Chains A and B, each alone.
Chain A
Amino acid sequence: MNARHDSLHIPAVIPAFDALRWRRDFPVFRQLVHGKPLVYLDNAASSQKPQAVIDAVSDYYQRYNSNVHRGVHHLSEQATAAYEGAREKLRRFINAASIKEIIFVRGTTEAINLVAQSYGRSHLQSGDEIILSEMEHHSNIVPWQLLREQTGVELKIIPINEAGELQPGAYEQLFSPRTRLVAVTHISNALGSVNPVKAMIAHAHQQRVPVLLDGAQAVPHLPVDVRDLDCDFYAFSSHKMFGPTGIGVLYAKEALLADMPPYQGGGEMIRTVRFSGSTWNVLPHKFEAGTPDIAGAIGLGAAVGYLENIGMASIRDYERGLLEYGTQQLQSLAGVKLVGTARHKAGVLSFVMDGIHPHDIGTIVDQQGVAIRTGHHCAMPVMEHFHISATARASLAFYNTREDIDALVQALGKAREVFR
């Protein structure tokens, strides 16, 4: 091989994921917490925002703040274009078939409540069954309990095993002729378990049962393709995917949405209003009563653009490596036990420490600049399963590094010291 060929040679090694480069896009990291550099490991609760998102929100308020879908004036036209442009970005990001299937809501919680109240109350009756799992966040339990009180539906729960995985075979056994809906999480927020949702959806569809996925912990961490999954409803939140708080998305197949009554009434969602009765706007507006969170949607659109630039597959692969490293480091500590050891896991490290309550761990590591979550993580049934009241939880994002894990490990040493 001569020198000329060598100069054309493409390196076999793909450049390493440069987390520190991305971290520089996040102004929150330009500060010290308790005199220490901020180590943010609470991403499953809420993620930080890149400058691009902050600027998009601020730009809307500074340059073209106005209502959408109403005015014929310049600013309103700009705002409408940006708001609907964000919807198209979301559609492309999760590969929905149409923008009619992208409903802007306040977050995952509202998305699930919308499905429970609109689809649930119009399609389910007393004695009908909904399958949930033991690892659900409260936001995918309580809306169905409210529906149970209103309609008499029954809830069937897929149990989890000691690793924090859905018990193999249990799901299929829960199906009966009365099963009308499956509502499960894509990734558990408390355990990090990634559920085999594609196979679960295929099984449900064989029985003509629709499936809702809680995607709050999935969308920020791996590529999600709703058409490949073939899910019927998919709910997620902006603030966990580096966008603003107060906004999220309900994806639903158009045929289902067309057959569902409005969730809330008001402006925007109507075509005509008379005291004798009103008619509804077309999709997706039928489900967006009132002035929406315009700035939030635009900010979320910017977050999607930011994530697409990095690449969701790269993010998934990088976080997988980081999770492996974190798992090894925590497992090497005496008296530390991981809660949630599923074979397929995303970046969540939930753990308990002998003799030290998670709340004390949280306060002590915070003093070292390390932010983690402690408590039941809005998943009390998971805590009950493991006979604990709380865990400490470090949850990862693409801007975290091995040094962040090392800082956590060191801070846990400090906790040991305090309670020695």
Chain B
Amino acid sequence: MDLKDLYQDVIVDHNRSPRNFRKLADATSVQEGFNPLCGDKLTVYLKLDGERISDVSFEGSGCAISVASASLMSEVVKGKTVAQAEQLFEKMHALLTIEDPERDLESLGKLAALSGVREYPSRVKCATLCWHTLKNALEHPETTSVSTE
């Protein structure tokens, strides 16, 4: 396993300059995610316009995988419907946890940059924390916290 498969240029770039890394003043849903294993904390802000995610942002501290995953997620789900975002959650979950040589990386677009994480079982939770937090935000439009443990 080459470290470059895990720390692809896209990941290193999104870690260095995370996109949508800010508080969303007019968020309709705010959820916190926490990984007690490493102490990573993440807040996901969502603005729902009916069934559409009109804006999304995040704040927090974490490792490169965790920050890049949240940054990529925020770019990808912006403008999507709730149903589309939930489909992406399922796809990401499968990408990170299931061995599937037939998997369709193309449909994941830039999210495919995280495919190397599956080879590092101890790091999968770093990449999934933001997605679990997003899912929680979609399902519960109030403020509570989600844990990956």
Contact = CB atoms under 8 A, between A and B. Distances in A.
Contact of B39 (A356, A360, A380, A414): A380
Interface string A350-375: 00000011111001100100000011
A419 interface: yes
Contact of A359 (B1, B3, B4, B63): B63
A418 interface: yes
Which of A360, A375, A389 has the most C-beta atoms of chain B within 10 angstroms of its own C-beta? A360
Nearest to A417: B3
A39 to B, nearest CB: 17
Contact of B12 (A358, A359, A389, A419): A419
A390 interface: yes
A389 B61 contact: yes
Interface residues of A, number: 19
B6 A390 contact: no
Contacts of B108: none
B33 to A, nearest CB: 13
Contacts of A363: 3, 6, 120, 122-123
Contacts of B40: 389
A254 B41 CA distance: 46
A383 interface: yes
23 contacts: A34-B1, A356-B64, A357-B63, A358-B63, A359-B38, A359-B66, A360-B65, A363-B3, A363-B6, A363-B120, A363-B122, A367-B1, A374-B38, A376-B39, A389-B39, A389-B40, A389-B61, A390-B38, A414-B3, A418-B7, A418-B12, A419-B7, A419-B16
Contacts of A390: 38-39
Contacts of A357: 62-64, 66
A371 to B, nearest CB: 12
Given A418-B3, A419-B12, A360 B63 contact: yes
Which 3 A-B residue pairings sit nearest by Cβ, starting from the closest?
Answer: A389-B39, A357-B63, A359-B63
Given A359-B123, A360-B7, 13 more contacts: A357-B63, A358-B38, A359-B66, A363-B122, A364-B3, A364-B7, A367-B3, A374-B38, A380-B39, A389-B39, A389-B40, A389-B61, A390-B39
Contact of A375 (B7, B37, B64): B37
B148 to A, nearest CB: 13
A389 B38 contact: yes
Given A363-B6, A363-B123, A367-B1, A419 B39 contact: no
B39 to A, nearest CB: 4
Interface in B63-109: 63-66
B44 to A, nearest CB: 18
Given A363-B120, A363-B123, A418-B12, A375 B65 contact: no
A390 B12 CA distance: 20
A10 to B, nearest CB: 52
Given A359-B126, A363-B123, A418-B7, A389 B41 contact: yes
Q: Pick from A367, A380, A389 the residue with the most CB of B within 10 Å.
A: A389
A357 B15 CA distance: 10
A418 B12 CA distance: 8
Nearest to A374: B38
Contacts of B63: 357-360
Contact of A419 (B64, B120, B123): B64
A360 B91 CA distance: 24
B115 to A, nearest CB: 16
B36 to A, nearest CB: 9
A375 B12 contact: no
